[in-house]
Amino acid sequence: MAVSYKKLWKLLIDKDMKKKDLREAANISPSLIAKMGRNENVTTEVLSRICTALKCDIGDIMEMVPDEMEDSH
C-alpha cells in the first residue's frame, strides 16, 4: 500500500489556501511539503500538525492506495 495526499491538496483548494499558507499554519518545512507532493511518508507528528491547522481528521488529508504492482497480481 502507498500513501496519497491528493485529499490534502484538494482540501487546500477548497479552503483557498496555498502550500505556503499550510506551511505557516502547521509550522512545517518546505521539504516536508515537497515529500508530501511526491506521496512519500511523513511522521504522524507532521500529519497531526496539519490536521490541527486545518481543523480536520487524518482521513481528510491522506489515504492508502494499492501499489501498482499489487494491482497486477
Q: What is the pLDDT of residues 29-60, one digit of tens each?
A: 999 999 999 999 999 999 999 999 999 999 99
The whole-chain average pLDDT of the chain stands at 93
What is the model's pTM?
0.87
Give the position of cell 512545517: 28
Q: How far apart are alpha carbons 44 and 38 in whole angstroms? A: 17
Torsion angles phi and psi, residue 65, rounded to 5: -125, 145
Q: How far apart are alpha carbons 2 and 66 in whole angstroms? A: 6
Whether the per-residue pLDDT at 72 is higher than 80: the answer is no
Strand partners, 4: 63
